Chains A and B, each alone.
Chain A
Amino acid sequence: MKKIVSMSALLMLFSFAGASMPALADAADIVIDGAWARASIGMNRPGAAYMTIRNTGTEPVTLIGLSTPLAMMPAIHETRTSTEGVSSMTPTDEIAIAPGESVALEPGGLHAMLMQLQEPMTEGETFPLTLVFEDGVEATVEVPILGFAARGPED
């Protein structure tokens, strides 16, 4: 948790420093809050991570991918539940975030799906997750791993 706070503070500092810079969005404009993931059972099952991504800049940003040493195939997925109560999950190619807007990755909606884990996700540990945006901008967050039955970062 502490790591995240300092990360946000650092990002905020950068965004002040870069306030006078025009045009292209940069990592300083991207603030990631409340990141968390559930512990996994072994390495066979995919994991999921959640967070809120805020664009504090003046230019739109588009999230196009993820990378992490934890998983070979991390990807943004979206769970949809139909009016008949049937849930399905589909990959989301890109997520555009307008200036001043945020996108929530939360249970039952968008989530960072962590396929092909390289090691088990152990409660109490953290892992780095890099969000890759269009124009090569990247933002890395240290994601705390909560309990297997965690419902959110407040647990």
Chain B
Amino acid sequence: MKRTRFLGYGTAAVAAVGMMLFVGWWQVDGPGAPEPMGQRPIPLTEMAFSLTDHEGNAVGPEALLGSPTMAFFGFTYCPDVCPTTLSDISDWLDALGNEADPLNVIFITVDPERDTVAAMAEYVSYFHPAIRGWTGPEEQIARAAEGFRAVFERVPTDSGDYTMNHTASVFLFNAEGQFVTTIDYHEAREFALPKIRRALQQEMEETT
């Protein structure tokens, strides 16, 4: 009698532990796991959005296929991070010289209200000529950001204006549109250049 009850408790305990393990797995690694924040961007071939470049051309992810791509989200009313990143990008492009010729370089605004096509055209003219500025309706920018797993948020400032919080990493894709890696905000040139070369190299391998 005693033994069977004991056994019963034992079975219940094992079942309870098993249940806990299962629940833990479900929540952490299993189908119930939350979407990780630092998710990889999806391939450009799976993205769908339509924007306008700073010269007024209709553009989208399909326009980037066939060449490797370096992309960055920002806005032109950004006093610190965006000019710094675009200066960094210009510096990397200068350092790579002709090597960077096949690269698509795009700057997608997260602030279409202020960043019209004309505003983007003027802004990008101050940086490396390879940099293209993309803008468009907010819902299209949101779709682009979703594909890149980038985030942006409008934040009011005490001056009565607003600023934008946004993902400041630079994204690299190969010529087939596969995500290669990101360059972190203000990452040193000696780390950034090999990453860009990796995206370029993958293009070389495919064409040879």
Q: Are A47 and B81 in contact (CB under 8 A)?
A: no
Q: Are A48 and B80 in contact (CB under 8 A)?
A: yes
B residues 21-58 in Cβ contact with A at 8 Å: 37-38
* Total interface residues in chain B, CB < 8 Å: 34
27 contacts between A and B (CB under 8 A): A41-B76, A41-B122, A41-B126, A45-B77, A46-B77, A47-B79, A75-B158, A81-B168, A81-B185, A85-B38, A85-B167, A85-B169, A85-B185, A86-B167, A86-B168, A87-B81, A87-B185, A89-B81, A89-B163, A107-B80, A107-B84, A108-B186, A113-B80, A149-B86, A149-B87, A149-B126, A151-B84
The answer to whether A150 has its CB under 8 Å from any CB of chain B is yes
The answer to whether A54 has its CB under 8 Å from any CB of chain B is no
Residues of A within 8 A of B151 (CB): 84, 86
Residues of B within 8 A of A91 (CB): 158
A contact residues vs B (CB 8 Å cutoff) = 38, 41, 44-48, 73, 75, 77, 79, 81, 83-89, 91, 107-108, 111, 113-116, 148-151
B contact residues vs A (CB 8 Å cutoff) = 37-38, 76-77, 79-81, 83-84, 86-88, 90-91, 122-123, 126-127, 151, 155, 157-159, 161, 163, 165-169, 182, 184-186
Q: Are A88 and B126 in contact (CB under 8 A)?
A: no
**Which 5 pairs show the lowest CB-CB distances between chains A and B?**
A85-B169, A88-B165, A87-B168, A48-B79, A107-B84
B80's contact among A73, A111, A116, by CB below 8 Å, is which?
A111
